[in-house]
Structure 1
Amino acid sequence: MEPNYIIEEGQFLEYAIMILEGTVRMFKISPGGREITLYRIHSGECCPLMTSSILGEAEYEASACVETTGLVLAIPAEIFRDWTDRYKTFRRFIFKSFAKRIVIMSNLLDSIHFKSIRGRISEFLIQMAEQAGHSDTISITHDSMSSELGTAREVISRTLKVLEKEDIIKLSRGKITITNRAVLESFIEL
């Protein structure tokens, strides 16, 4: 399924989008075309980058695409700014969203700069397995993993092949099966 882009980096936003149902993935694209997922916005959330863009009357600093279709509330930017000024509980909601995403972004930067690719892949696979109901088989492509982890597809493929050779995972088209969870978990760097 081709992603449905709703916002591209550099746009001036006319509406604040509140996600009522569904999931939107926020990401950046490097000048060389590599993609990295920053975070996801789920039901009941709003994007702090969108908020800062609207409140600061500046260009949007990322791109967004719909991952799971749903329902949104589109609030005109002028009204959004007014609500932020006028309503304390709305402003608190916005700042809680900022705080939550700052932690996520900080963890992403730590991961990229301070953890090995083997550790990052291991942590990602364990998280994906838990999200899939503790299944040992994860449906994902090497290309999708490279976007999630912010590295080249070739680096992902090479590292996965080493893990397969060590009998820790098994690779098949569009799927990865964890065959030795304990060893995979031992690679996770805290």
Structure 2
Amino acid sequence: MVEPISQIVKKIPFWGNLSLEEKALVSQRAMIKHFNKDQIVSSNSSACLGIILILSGGIRVSLISDEGREVTLYRAHANEFCVSTASCVIHQLTFETIVTAEEDTSVLVIPSSVCAKLMDSNIHVRSFVFERETERYSQTIWAIQQMLFKRFDQRLANYLINSYESSDKPEVKKTQEEIARDVNSAREVVARMLKEFAAKGLVEIKRGAIVLRNIEGLKRLL
């Protein structure tokens, strides 16, 4: 059963620092939105959404080049906030991103107009937004460091190990195209490296999935 908005808004970290008028504004204007897997949640070419709290599912924030190549910057999951969807009211955000639902996803939206009003009047809201964006900036720098300074076999091994540790299952149910997008590479490069891993007995390649056969061996690559 989905909680009423009046209860969900109380999970917002700065809720206790809002005035009665501000709480009423958020309660009245906040809304729940649902997105299907791979649906665009927010982009620089769409209307500015606002701050979102992920209720279920997860999102991916990425850059897309003029040639259509996508680079994943970071992800956010249930019970996490994303302020990149409120870029129109955060003037420090000067690069264009696209936010996509990685699975069927529901979010609580605090509309951009409400965000702008709260950031102008409440130092706690402004501090919260900048703290969250600083955290995401650190994740973005980490992603860039991985691309610049890590060998690709290490990046791919690290990705497979992280998938295993987060799900506790030795099977990564993703296509090679999806994995390539996740590790910021081309599908052909991922396919070639997975074949090398398979030849060494580290993984087994299945249709739409990769089975980890030697997790310790993958860890030694790191």
Q: Which band: TM-score by shorter chain?
A: 0.7 to 0.9
Report matched runs for 1:1-190 at 5 Å. 3-13=38-48, 15-22=49-56, 23-56=58-91, 61-133=96-168, 135-188=169-222
Structure 1 unmatched ranges of 5 or more:
none
Structure 2 unmatched ranges of 5 or more:
1-35
Q: CA deviation at 1:150?
A: 1.0
Q: Distance in 1 between matches of 2:158 and 2:90?
A: 35
* Aligned residues of 1:12 and 1:59 also touching (Cα < 8 A): no
1:182 aligned partner, one-letter code: E
2:185 aligned partner, one-letter code: T
How many residues are aligned here? 186
1:8-50, CA deviations, whole angstroms, 9 ceiling, x for partnerless residues?
343451x303124022221222222222221122234333433
The normalised TM-score by structure 1 is 0.86
1:161-186, CA deviations, whole angstroms, 9 ceiling, x for partnerless residues?
01111111111111111111112101
Which structure has the bigger radius of gyration? 2
> Alpha carbon RMSD of aligned pairs, Å?
2.3
Q: Distance in 1 between matches of 2:38 and 2:170?
A: 26
Q: Distance in 2 between matches of 1:57 and 1:183?
A: 43
* Aligned residues of 2:173 and 2:210 also touching (Cα < 8 A): yes
Q: Distance in 1 between matches of 2:55 and 2:149?
A: 35
Q: CA deviation at 1:60?
A: 7.1
The normalised TM-score by structure 2 is 0.75
Q: Distance in 2 between matches of 1:38 and 1:88?
A: 28
